[in-house]
Structure 1
Amino acid sequence: MLVDALMSRRSAKLREVLDRLLLKDLKAICDTHGLDRKARAKATLIARILGEDDPPVVTKSKAKTKPKSKPKAQLKTARPRQGELPLGLSGGAEQVEQVNLSKLESHLWEAANILRGSPVDRTDWKSYILPLLFFKRICDAWDEEREDMLKAYDGQVFPDEFRFDVPDGCHWRVVRGATKHVGKAIRDAMRGIEQANQDKLLGVFGDASWTNKERLPDDLLKDLIEHFSKLSLGNKAVKNDVIGDAYEYLIKKFADSTNKKAGEFYTPRSVVRLMVDTLDPQEGETIYDPACGTGGMLLAAVEHVKDAGGDPRTFFGKLFGQEKNLTTASVARMNLQLHGVEEFDIRRGDTLRRPAFASAEDHSLRQFDIVLANPPFSLKNWGRDVWESDPWGRAFAGLPTDKSGDFAWVQHMVKSMAPGHGRMAVVLPQGALFRGGAEGKIRKKLLELDRIEVVIGLAPNLFYGTGLAACILVLRMTKPAARKKKVLVVDGSSLFRKGRAQNHLEPEHGAQMLSWVRAFEDVEDRARVVSLDEIEEEDWTLNISRYVLPPIGKDIPPLPEAVADFKAALARCREAEEALRREMNEGGWLA
């Protein structure tokens, strides 16, 4: 260990050795020895490691100093910069009122409502509200870190120990003080923070048009800034899980308010949870989402391990995603940061045409333990021309038509699975289970390779922007011996709660289907284990109704009543048809 190496120098005393370490090194030592790692000041962690009850007292006559090896240029005094407050006034060291999730959710949606009736289209609200939330969080957390350092080191700060640097002139308070050209002040501050933290934040605030005064006049932006300023969003007031959940709440609210457009970036969390629980990610595994949207599937994998008692930090540096839309990719990066995930790799780009996680040298795709996605349904003009000579060999089972990219996504994901234990789950329209032509040939090849393990049919109208029934396809590079040459077909079409505009998959519905998947056995009217021989007899279709018959309803009306209802409906249909014909004749549309 680092401490052991330094202690080998006989002249070193333990406290001096510990004082030479960075805050992150001291936290690592605390983790190793089962000590509480939560602290902003090094003195607190050093005291815990040495077994002391309280940190050594810092007196005004002798200030704590940073390691002698630290370049002097990095050590700063407590003189406030533009936007900073003097020691004791920023609120970082005072007792801060905790903000609960309900209060924060209401506060954030009230911010969105400030844009209601403005020239900003509802579909663009997230492009402004979410970056402002992240900007405020960074600045409030920076204030706390700064004040803790000032108190611990008697007026000295060390820039390399801030999680994020907030350069001079880029603080929230500077923007709040702007009396005109407020959009420019916001844009410049966000760009300054991105430039100062290029390794983690470059491009994270997106490309919103803050300086467009026709859409965002100064008064509107001032109202937004003042509203966000009402609450402290630092780490002491709002824990990572609270602000992370509130951010996800906002994403869902924006999805609810835009509906059709929401399908481009949001997957219902109950569906995500079912997919993740089915794949059962383990500590330290690599997770990849080639159509990552707002990052919900990557976060769900972290939460899955956390809920099972594992250490979510084992995923740091092992979460990967690609997203075509710049704004959505930025939302995903902010989402992960606000949930406390410090290391990940989200890249913007067209996955099917230009996969980001690939080697140009040997034309191989990077491979991952877990691959999961909800790609755009039946995407047209997805890049078939590129795949005709795809350097990564992704058309191994066949080349889809340019009218639907469903099986292009499936094949990309299969090629991205790690050998042996790699597994994946993908959301597709149910038409992908039975369509013929090129797709039928690809489906046949995947079945012959024994990659497809589970098919889950979902209820209709669960997803934003489409009333179609979807399915989840689960594939595995190497099936367990008991599941080889078999596919579990699950019919979950009746498991939903009906809503006004959309149906909802409740947690209990997901839990029910998960139990069937894990059991991998026949369940009357619900699930059936089907052999590849039988699927071949059915001409390689995976149409769920071929293998699982829906249960006979208990509320089927008597035959005379059903016939009467049918005749009444037929009469209404004929009346409507006649009315339409009259209208078209009067309008001259019929010869």
Structure 2
Amino acid sequence: MQGEKLTLSQLEQYLSKAAWILKGPVDASDFKVYIFPLLFFKRVSDVYDEEYQTALAESDGDTEYASLPEMHRFEIPEGCHWRDVRETTTNVGQAIEHALRGIEKANQEFLYGIFGDAQWSNKNKLSDSLLINLIEHFSQHTLGRENANPDILGNAYEYLIKHFADLTNKKAGEFYTPRSVVHLLGLILDPHEGETIYDPACGTGGMLLECVDHLKHNNEDYRTLKLYGQEKNLTSSSIARMNMFLHGIEDFKILRGDTLRDPAFFEADGLQTFDCVIANPPFSLKDWGAENWANDPYGRGVSGIPPKGNGDLAWVQHMVKSMNSTGRMTVVLPHGAIFRPNAEARIRRYLIEHDLLEAVIGLGPNIFYGSPLATCIVVIKQNKEVNKKGKVLFVDASELFRVGRAQNHLEPLHVKQIHDWVSDYRDVENHTKIVCVKDIQENDFNLNIPLYVEKIVEDDLLSVEQAETELKAAWEASLKAERDFKSVLERFI
């Protein structure tokens, strides 16, 4: 099975079966720690072999030429190839660690730390026989470019991310954002060729890849995008980097770190700024770094200090500060962030008085993993279009979802409808309302959507006269039915 082109379905089954091999000794929440690095290791090895054969053909069989580092996207040192690990029968975990560290060391600029910190040599969890089974399973298919093009392999990788989120039911915002929500954010953000895209809480990289897909869909050159992301979680940040490479993305920087306490991207005079900023940050983060915000060297707290126990609007402040002079951003927030009083009201006031807020979109409940709460999308722009200045669009999409057993679903038709409402920018009864800043000021900068999008309840109640008429008719009908019944009954007495 080494020469065939793999379909998406084949790859999905292949990857999900790898997880089942780990089931038992390894907790489901840790599958990703082992499966993703092995998948990437196999891909790098198989692509290396393809490049070697190509160079060999070009040089009439010159093995020294074919082994030159410049012939390969990534260098694989001697003893660190997939086949070296496959040939190992004892201390397999140690052999895997040696290979992964060797590849990282040989490609420090791009791959340093990418394989994470899994304890491969822990034989209590990963016996030699289990790892041999896992290696043999992955060895069934060749994962070079000829057999698994980046789009298909990338989509299978995204499937695996979702599959692991399903298995572990991660809390909203911590690991996996539903693809429909990611797609909606990308549609509203509308990135274009040559732009810079930044996700300050990038997780496994889904938001950034959505921007790439957006350009592909619009027949624009996605290779001109420059992608940036920061992620605190070591495993997630490693997965994000692997995700980019597996999708064939070259121009990106994903760095590990605490964005609010220690942002990773700078320019000479402060934070680096971007054309597009997009995120689904962790909801209602408690220990987010409030103690440093008043004296934040990057000026992110200029509009106020968010509550010590809730970092929702700290993320918004960071994202606003990360937009360039023509920048725009879309962010997912819990509903409380748009109506809670005091400190958060002061931050909302700043956004509104500086005419940065363009739209607030309310989504339905239970769309995110492990969170029954409804969420919203906030759209912010440095330079709003002339017809949108001094106004905010409120969208109530709370009823647009398909009810599921454990989780509700935002379907493609729902995504299209919401995007159409945002694009059309007009009042739609029961769903959207364009509101002047003055009206928001009168509500103390409370952005709770029902304050502005009023639901018109259809009055289907009967008048007293109609009710009396229908009651009389029903009474007469019942009397007739009783007479008919007695008449039938008399025949049998």
Q: Which TM-score applies when normalising by structure 2?
A: 0.91
Q: 1:460, 1:116 → 2: CA distance?
A: 32
| Greater relative CO, 1 or 2 (CA 8 Å, sep 6+) | 2
Q: Which of 253, 267, 270 is the equivalent residue of 1:345?
A: 253
| 8 Å contact kept, 1:292–1:322 | yes
| 8 Å contact kept, 2:6–2:147 | yes
Q: What's the CA shift string for 1:266-310, capped at 9, x where partnerless?
A: 111111111111011010100000000000010000110111001
Partner of 2:222: 312
Partner of 1:141: 47
| 8 Å contact kept, 1:453–1:476 | yes
Are the structure 2 counterparts of residues 226 and 261 from structure 1 closer, same or farther at C-alpha, using a change threshold of 3 Å? farther
Q: Which of 413, 425, 432 is the equivalent residue of 1:527?
A: 432
Three-state SS of the structure 1 residue aligned to 2:249 is coil
1:491-530 matches, within 5 Å, as 491-530=396-435
Q: What's the CA shift string for 1:411-433, capped at 9, x where partnerless?
A: 000000010x2000111000111
Q: 2:456, 2:424 → 1: CA distance?
A: 20
**1:155, distance to aligned residue in structure 2 (A):** 1.8
Code of the aligned partner of 1:190:
L
Q: Which of 219, 228, 232 is the equivalent residue of 2:129?
A: 219
Are the structure 2 counterparts of residues 554 and 235 from structure 1 closer, same or farther at C-alpha, using a change threshold of 3 Å? farther
Partner of 1:439: 344
1:184-583 matches, within 5 Å, as 184-261=94-171, 263-315=173-225, 318-359=226-267, 362=269, 364-419=270-325, 421-550=326-455, 552=457
| 8 Å contact kept, 1:263–1:465 | no
Where does the alignment leave 5 or more consecutive residues of structure 1 unmatched? 1-89, 557-591
Partner of 1:26: none
Three-state SS of the structure 2 residue aligned to 1:424 is strand
Q: 2:460, 2:120 → 1: CA distance?
A: 57
**1:549, distance to aligned residue in structure 2 (A):** 2.4
Code of the aligned partner of 1:303:
D
| 8 Å contact kept, 2:52–2:71 | no
The answer to whether structure 1 residue 124 and structure 2 residue 34 are counterparts is no
**1:159, distance to aligned residue in structure 2 (A):** 2.2
Q: 2:144, 2:282 → 1: CA distance?
A: 36
**1:150, distance to aligned residue in structure 2 (A):** 0.8
Q: 2:266, 2:426 → 1: CA distance?
A: 38
**1:115, distance to aligned residue in structure 2 (A):** 1.3
| 8 Å contact kept, 1:255–1:262 | no
Q: 2:175, 2:257 → 1: CA distance?
A: 14
**1:465, distance to aligned residue in structure 2 (A):** 2.3
Three-state SS of the structure 2 residue aligned to 1:144 is helix
Q: 2:168, 2:455 → 1: CA distance?
A: 33
Partner of 1:103: 10
Q: What's the CA shift string for 1:113-169, capped at 9, x where partnerless?
A: 111122x11111001001110100111111111011111211221321211111110
Three-state SS of the structure 2 residue aligned to 1:273 is helix
Partner of 1:48: none
**1:343, distance to aligned residue in structure 2 (A):** 2.2
**1:539, distance to aligned residue in structure 2 (A):** 1.7
Partner of 2:19: 112
Q: What's the CA shift string for 1:163-206, capped at 9, x where partnerless?
A: 11111100101101111111111111011111111111111111
Q: What's the CA shift string for 1:376-406, capped at 9, x where partnerless?
A: 1111021011112100000011011111001
Q: What's the CA shift string for 1:25-82, capped at 9, x where partnerless?
A: xxxxxxxxxxxxxxxxxxxxxxxxxxxxxxxxxxxxxxxxxxxxxxxxxxxxxxxxxx
1:74-85 matches, within 5 Å, as none
Q: Which shifted more, 148-157 or 431-440?
A: 148-157
Q: 2:459, 2:37 → 1: CA distance?
A: 51
| 8 Å contact kept, 1:365–1:392 | yes
Are the structure 2 counterparts of residues 555 and 184 from structure 1 closer, same or farther at C-alpha, using a change threshold of 3 Å? farther
Q: 1:109, 1:554 → 2: CA distance?
A: 53
Code of the aligned partner of 1:280:
D
Code of the aligned partner of 1:473:
V
Q: 1:223, 1:499 → 2: CA distance?
A: 36
| 8 Å contact kept, 1:458–1:493 | yes
| 8 Å contact kept, 2:361–2:396 | yes
Alignment root-mean-square deviation, CA = 1.6
**1:358, distance to aligned residue in structure 2 (A):** 2.1
| 8 Å contact kept, 1:182–1:218 | yes
**1:260, distance to aligned residue in structure 2 (A):** 2.9
**1:550, distance to aligned residue in structure 2 (A):** 3.6
| 8 Å contact kept, 2:93–2:122 | yes
Code of the aligned partner of 1:320:
Y
**1:520, distance to aligned residue in structure 2 (A):** 0.7
| 8 Å contact kept, 1:357–1:365 | yes
Q: Which shifted more, 152-161 or 96-105?
A: 152-161
Where does the alignment leave 5 or more consecutive residues of structure 2 unmatched? 462-493
| 8 Å contact kept, 2:186–2:214 | yes
Code of the aligned partner of 2:17:
E
Are the structure 2 counterparts of residues 104 and 553 from structure 1 closer, same or farther at C-alpha, using a change threshold of 3 Å? farther
Q: Which TM-score applies when normalising by structure 1?
A: 0.76
Q: 2:366, 2:37 → 1: CA distance?
A: 31
